[in-house]
Structure formats: C-alpha cells, structure tokens
Amino acid sequence: MALPKGVQAVAPAVPAVFTRATLADREAALGRLLLAPAALYVVVLVGIPFVLAILLSFSGARSGSLAFDWVGLRHFRAIIADPQFLLTLRNTLIFTVASQVLVMILATTAANILEAAFVGKRAVRMLLLLPWAVPVSLATMAWAWIFDSTFSVINWTLRALGIFQGWIYWLGDPELAMLAIIIIHVWRMFPFATVILLAGMTAIPLEIREAAVIDGASFWRRLFQVNLPLLLPVVTVAVLFGVVFTSTDLSVVYLLTRGGPYNSTHVLSSLAFQRGILGGDLGEGAAIALFLLPVLVFAAILLLRMARRAEVGG
C-alpha cells in the first residue's frame, strides 16, 4: 500500500527471530523427521531380517560357514516329505486353533464378569492380568511342577477329592503333553484378550445396551445379537494378535517339553529352532519357520476385511 508522503511505516515490535519460519512450522519436513526413527526401525530390525530369512530358506546356508549357495525349493520339498515336519505342522494348527477358541471363550466370559460392578473388582482385574505380566520362563517353571510326573499338584488334588485314583503322566504322553502346552498358553494369553475385549465393551454406548434390556432381550440374546456383533471389530483384532502370537510361539513348548516326548509336541517355531539353530541347518530352519507365512498373511487380510465390513455395517 502506498503511504502518503511524510508518513513512515512503523515496523512491528516483534523481533525477526519470531517471524522466521522454523522447522516446527514446516510440517512436511517435520513429519519426515519424526517418522524417520520408526521407518529406520522397521527397515533395519524387521524388513532386513525378514528378507534375509526368506533368502535363507532357499539356501544351503549352515552355521559356522559363510557359504551361501542357492538350492531353490530343496528345503521345502524335504520338509514336506518329512513325517516329523507334518506332525509338527498338525501340532501347530491344533495348538493355535484350540488355544484361540479357548482364549476367546474365557476372555469373553471374563470381560463380561469384570464389567459388572462388584466389590474388589480392581483387585480381581489386577490378579487377572498377572499371567500376562509374569515372565514366561518363570511361569512355565511353575507349571512344569504342576504337571510333574512325580509331584503333580493336579494329580494330588484329583486324588484328594476322590475324583480320580490313577496317576496321570502329563508330560509323558504325547496327547496330554500337548494339552498341558495348550493350557499354559491359554492361561498366558487370555488376560490380554480380556483387556482388549473390555476396552471394546466400554466403547459400546450405554444407551444401546440399555435399549436391549428395555426391549426385553434375554442375557444370551443381548450377548449374541447386540454386544458381540458390536464387539466384532475388536474381537477380530484380539483373534488376529492371538493367532500370530500363538502360531509363532516358541517359549512354552521349548521350556516345558522341548518338543518331547519323542519329538511329539514340536510346533513350527520350536522345530525351526532345533533344526536351524541347534542343528545348524539355517536353510531348513528358515524354511520351517516361514512355512505358515502365506497362510498367516491371508488370514490377516481376511480378518481385517471382515472387521472393516462390520464397522461400516454393510
């Protein structure tokens, strides 16, 4: 604007340092800067090892040697023909499906109970979370005693109550050992699922749940027709986490049975560890560990799509 003669523009009394655009004003640059650590983490600690694992599964690499020869699908052909691998694959599926079904039933029940108001609710919530918070090695050691062939608390209790007079060798029998593994894993996982479900339940508007009460719906009708459908997106997330955590879990099997008796309770990750790390055959270990990857990716996409559909209500 042109100023009349003799009138001078008065400079604002703000130091120049305040008017200069700083990094915080340049959102594009700031955004990149703030994302950089996360991107670095994903690339270096997730992406590279993942690609390396895929490459390893097609190689004849062994520990103790730097040779990296391409063997194509040899490992995959070998493991498919291996009865031990097929048994392990079956174990992994049983382990994952059975423990997820049990986890979801237990978590839904626990979340419904914990949602109600009662005295000591906070204490119960704390206690419930303990299995998840306890280090898995400690917990499994305690469980190992519970299932011990000589000192089993369960056997003693069954006997004392007069329910069963015989003696159960929990970890000596392939089926019972698998059951023991599933029990421990369910015990570990369901608190986490409960917390997710509880969070999902508090997100359902109270008025909708009261409307169902007023509309005369029974407890089961409210659960299956109102609460669970509204929880579906959250349940999906809980199941997805559970499936991934379970099908890749090494700790319980390795700590409790080491795959025994007679390699009958191996799951993919424990077998991969045994063959790849302890046995030194990195290529075969990687092939075993990666075997379920396509299935898991497919399941994840399917579940996430289902959750999205439930959200839009279509």
Partner 1 sequence: MGYVETRNLHKHFGDVRAVDGVNLDVSEGELLVLLGPSGCGKTTLMRMIAGLEAPTAGEIYIAGQRVDEGVPPRARGIAMVFQSYALYPHKTAYRNIAFPLEAAGQPPAMVKERVSGGARMFGLERLLARFPRQLSGGERQRVALARAVVRDPKVFLFDEPLSNLDAQLRAIARYELKEFQRQIGTTTVYVTHDQVEAMGLGDRIAVMEKGKVRQIGTPQDVYENPADTFVATFLGSPPMNLVEHDEATLFGFRPEHLLPRVAFPAEAPVLPYHLRVRQVEHLGASRLIYGYLEEETRSDQPVIADLPVTIPLPIAEQQVYEFAVPRRAMRYFDRRTGLRRDGAA
Q: Which residues bind partner 1 (CB under 8 A)?
A: 205, 207-208, 210-218, 221, 225-226, 229-230, 232, 310, 312-314
Please, what is the minimum distance in Å from the beta carbon of residue 313 to partner 1? 4
Comparing CB distances to partner 1, the nearer of 212 and 303 is: 212
Q: Are 101 and 187 in contact (CB under 8 A)?
A: no
CA distance 138 to 104: 24
- Exposed, middle or buried: residue 193 (CB in 10 Å: 0-12, 13-18, 19+)? buried
Burial 116-151 (b: 16+ CB within 10 A, else e): eeeeeeeeeeeebeebbeeebeebbeebbebbeeee
Considering the complex, state which of residue 115 and residue 215 has its C-beta at the smaller distance from partner 1.
Answer: 215
**Min separation Cβ 231 and partner 1, Å:** 10
Question: What is the Cα–Cα distance from 272 to 264, expressed in whole angstroms?
Answer: 14
Q: How far is the CB of 134 from partner 1 (least distance, A)?
A: 37
Q: How far apart (Å, rounded) are the C-alpha atoms in residues 78 and 109?
A: 44
- Nearer of residues 6 and 216 to partner 1, judged by Cβ: 216
Which of residues 157 and 218 has its CB atom nearest to partner 1 in the complex? 218
Distance CA 241, CA 100 (A): 10
How far apart, in Å, are the Cα atoms of 278 and each of 48, 52, 64, 271? 23, 19, 12, 10
Distance (Å, whole) CA 142 – CA 114: 26
Q: CB of residue 303 vs partner 1: minimum separation in angstroms?
A: 17
Q: How far is the CB of 308 from partner 1 (least distance, A)?
A: 13
- Least Cβ distance, residue 49 to partner 1 (angstroms): 41
How far is residue 28's CA from residue 300's CA, in Å, rounded to a whole number? Answer: 32
Of 162 and 216, the one with the shorter C-beta distance to partner 1 is 216
Residue 182 structure tokens: 């599933």
Nearer residue to partner 1 within complex by CB, 46 or 213? 213
Cα dihedral 169, 172, 173, 174 sign: positive
Least distance in angstroms from the C-beta of 257 to partner 1: 43
Which of 90, 278, 267 lies closest to 181 in space, CA to CA?
267
Distance CA 22, CA 85 (A): 59
Q: How far is the CB of 229 from partner 1 (least distance, A)?
A: 5
Closest distance between partner 1 and the C-beta of residue 121, in Å? 18
By beta-carbon proximity to partner 1, the closer residue of 74 and 209 is 209
CA 15 to chain centre: 54
